[in-house]
Amino acid sequence: MHEGRLTRGQLQAWALNRYYYQSIIPIKDSIILSRGPDPAFRRAWRKRVIDHDGDASHDGAFSNAASSSNPNNNEGGIRRWLKLAEATGLNPDDVRAGKGILPATRFAVNEYLNIVRSRTLLEAVASSLTEMFSRDLITLRMEKLRQHYPWLSGGLDYFEARLTQAPEDAEFAVNYVYHNAKTRAEQELAIQALRDKCDILWAQLDALHFAYVQPGWPPPGAFRIEQVKA
């Protein structure tokens, strides 16, 4: 991606599959919210749900409202990701319906829900800490996307918003883990949760590579790159 070697079809496969991940993030955060021990924790955490789901004024059909011209406008991360998918040339309704996403994407993403449901709250919070590293990556990614895929430039609002959201979220989460992982055993659990989250992200990329790069074998029912447009 950062070397400009992806076709439009490969970027579509990425945007489509990553949408499924984006769409479950507020569900994941709602589960954590439901397990929050006190109002202060829940007040801090609910920001994440709002960041992704947006506010009521953006409900209903996908629209090309004047949202992008107003930086304070909260259309939400899911809507912003749909705009990115649309910029790759996908039909946003198909993306929203999850049509053609890889089963491996679903399995990896659903494991994230398993983790935040079944482990301790400390581990559920720690699993979000991949965000500690996202600002630098997103900065680089936006630069590279604009450079190599200029036709995608109109769809980068998602990343723009995450530049400020992710570091705020990560700061709260790392403080929570710092104060609540007191024993060595608890610290090990927190580290393992973060490792497992990395596996979840990594497995999604491996599945994309397998299906759309090398050997390039999408499983039955999965999105197929149109050879004509590629």
**Would you count residue 110 as binding a copy of itself (CB under 8 A)?**
yes
Q: Which is nearer to a copy of itself, 103 or 167 (CB)?
A: 103
- Rounded to a whole number of angstroms, the minimum distance from the CB of residue 109 to a copy of itself is 9
Q: b or e along 100-125 (b: 16 or more beta carbons within 10 Å of the residue's beta carbon)?
A: bbbebbbebbeebeebbeebeebbbb
Segment contacting a copy of itself by CB under 8 A, of 26-34, 130-138, 185-193, 201-209: 201-209
Q: Which is nearer to a copy of itself, 42 or 99 (CB)?
A: 99
Positions 158 through 197 that interact with a copy of itself (CB under 8 A)? 195-196
At 112, list the tokens.
């994230």
Segment contacting a copy of itself by CB under 8 A, of 20-28, 39-47, 49-57, 218-226: 218-226
**Would you count residue 94 as binding a copy of itself (CB under 8 A)?**
no
**Would you count residue 103 as binding a copy of itself (CB under 8 A)?**
yes
**Would you count residue 39 as binding a copy of itself (CB under 8 A)?**
no
- Rounded to a whole number of angstroms, the minimum distance from the CB of residue 50 to a copy of itself is 27
- Which residues lie near a copy of itself (CB under 8 A)? 102-104, 106-108, 110-111, 114, 195-196, 198-200, 202-203, 206-207, 209-211, 214-215, 217, 219-221
